[in-house]
Amino acid sequence: MIAISARSVGANDLVPRRTVSGAGGRVTPVSVTTGPDAIVRCPWGDDPAMISYHDTEWGRELRGDRELFERMSLEAFQSGLSWAIILRKREHFREAFAGFDPAAVAAFGDADVARLLGDAGIVRNRLKIEATISNARTLLALDESFSDLLWSFAPAPAPAPTSYADVPATTEESIAMAKALKRRGFRFVGPTTAYALMQATGMVNDHLAGCVARTRS
């Protein structure tokens, strides 16, 4: 029996696998795999929604205050859960949070918090809900573009990782981003979440060497 040890890579703590333990206890890093469609990808499993997200969104450059606010918020809601859960609920999140328009979310009050806590279509975590509303207000109070702020921490391009053993959970840049966001009043964005955000939005390209999506990012 092959045991898979999963590692959170970006938002996807469920699927990307850092190592495979085989006979004799040998542990080898997992690199790209060839799917049933004969396409070489990062080893994210066979869930169609996850494959589509991997192929068309994760690691692609994303800018814009609203777009990045949505992605940061969803990364925060994902903390402690799998990205597959968030992905399945994403449209519900968008409906519940007014399309993640920062101005609309910033205007949410106690009645909205109660509404969200009763919405089974999202993750009903009071701290995360209140943090999202607070973060929208903090974003609106910035003296600079939220998009420009986040992208100021993007590192220089790095060589393609060959396996998930080469992919970090945090970096100097994600630590610096998390500190800068916390200093400005943002909540639920630690260094690991910050690095997941960087991966998801193309600030770093952690598609593995040989993955079809790497050159598309």
Of the candidates 75, 151, 173, 195, the residue annotated as catalytic is: 75
Residue of 58, 83, 151, 164 marked active site: 83
Q: Which residue has the higher pLDDT, 30 or 79?
A: 79
Known active-site residue 83: yes
Average pLDDT over residues 177-184: 99
Tell me the average pLDDT across 190-194.
Answer: 97
Predicted confidence at residue 217, as pLDDT, reads 60
Would residue 75 show up in a list of annotated catalytic residues for this protein?
A: yes
What does the pLDDT look like over 9-45, one tens digit per residue? Answer: 343 443 444 444 444 444 445 789 998 889 999 998 8
* pLDDT value at residue 122: 99
Contact 200, 192 (CB under 8 A): no
- CA–CA distances in Å: residue 108 to residues 86, 104, 119, 129, 134: 22, 7, 15, 10, 9
What residue segments make up the domains of the chain, in order of their start?
A: 3-56, 65-200
* Residue 91 a catalytic site member: no
At 102-151, the pLDDT tens digits run: 999 999 999 999 999 999 999 999 999 999 999 999 999 999 999 999 99
Task: Give the pLDDT confidence score for residue 215 in this predicted structure.
Answer: 82
Q: Which CATH superfamily is domain 65-200 in?
A: Hypothetical protein; domain 2 (1.10.340.30)
Q: Where are the beta strands (DSSP E) in the chain?
A: 3-6, 17-21, 27-29, 33-34, 40-41
Give, as one character, the DSSP assignment of residue 2.
P
Stronger pLDDT, 92 or 30, i.e. the higher one? 92
pLDDT in tens, 42-58: 998 889 999 999 999 99
**Residue 36's pLDDT is what?**
85
Q: What local confidence, expressed as pLDDT, does residue 105 receive?
A: 99
Q: What's the mean pLDDT when you consider all of the chain?
A: 88
